[in-house]
Amino acid sequence: MKHNESSLTSIIAAFGRAYHSKYDTLKIFDDFILKDLISQKEFSDISENMIQGIQFFNKDIALRFQNDPDEILKWITQVQLSPTPLARAAYCEKVLLNEVMLGLKQYVILGAGLDTFCFRHPELKNSLEIFEVDYPATQDFKKKKLDNANFKIPSNLHFVSMDFTDKFSYQNLIDEGFNNKKTFFSLLGVSYYLTKEENSSLINNLFAKVPSGSSIVFDYADEKLFKEKGMSNRVENMVKMASVSGEPMKSCFTYFEIENMLEKSGLLIYEHLSPAAINDLFFSNRTDYLSAFETIHYIHAIKK
């Protein structure tokens, strides 16, 4: 990604969450704030681009729904775009809110993009400090969105500009009020875009200066990422789309590799969700196109 450009993948992920909130029933994760951050023109432009690109996603669907653009958009969004952003956010926030109930005071969102947790949980204003870490351009983009929608940035939300793929800096966090106390980190939709070495270095740096009991939720791609096509070729399409957008996917892991990486940083896996487990937890008994994405796993790990 270029340093002066906002992340395209974060915008597409936000679109998927916004579409789900607006149109889908049986909500997996209701990001109702996004309708105010993504303009109607942006929503329409992304929708049109997706519909026009249906031949890339699936020629059979393009033919079957050639006179029904709304169904084409629903198919693309529910099959390709939404599943992982919805389920990983739902899982992460379930774990996070449980940690808050146990007294957590500090939350760091790495690669925050258009995250809206702070605005959906105003009741935590006086009890949870939230630090959003991302590229300066992505944060500038978000701040403009918040300003245009007349959202006032609450006192417990701190923007920390950083290219953590280069070198994670605790000083940037400390300058915004971060303290050396029990911390919850989220790293969603990021690990695939880092090399294995960058992932390992980041995890190691994150947990070097926080106390025992601090934890992280992240998603990762397993060793089949670059080989498995997935339903309607959606895994292969995801890899291709990332490459074309200038944010190529760089890494995938076996479970053993993840376990070993975390162990080296003093972390134990508290919970691991495979694609099958994610499907059972978030997508069972649905009558639409939504289902858990192949090759994508979720981890909750805790510092010993």
Q: What is the pLDDT of residues 277-303, one digit of tens each?
A: 999 999 999 999 999 999 999 999 999
The per-residue pLDDT for 72 is: 98
Domain residues of the chain, as ranges? 8-81, 86-232+249-303
Instruction: Identify which has the larger pLDDT, 165 or 178.
Output: 178
Least confident of 7-11, 25-29, 234-238, 284-288: 7-11
- Domain range 86-232+249-303, CATH architecture: 3-Layer(aba) Sandwich (3.40)
Q: How confident is the model at residue 5 (pLDDT cuts 50, 70, 90)?
A: low
Model confidence pLDDT, tens digit, residues 194-236: 999 999 999 999 999 999 999 999 999 999 999 999 999 999 9
3-state per-residue secondary structure call for the chain: CCCCCCCHHHHHHHHHHHHHHHHCCCCCCCCCCHHHHCCHHHHHHHHHHHHHCHHHHCHHHHHHCCCCHHHHHHHHHHHHHCHHHHHHHHHHHHHHHHHHHCCCCEEEEECCCCCCHHHHCHHHCCCCEEEEEECHHHHHHHHHHHHHCCCCCCCCEEEEECCCCCCCCHHHHHCCCCCCCCCEEEECCCHHHCCHHHHHHHHHHHCCCCCCCCEEEEEEEECCCCCCCCHHHHHHHHHHHHHHCCCCCCCCECHHHHHHHHHHCCEEEEEEECHHHHHHHHHCCCCCCCCCCCCEEEEEEEEC
Q: How confident is the model at residue 8 (pLDDT cuts 50, 70, 90)?
A: confident
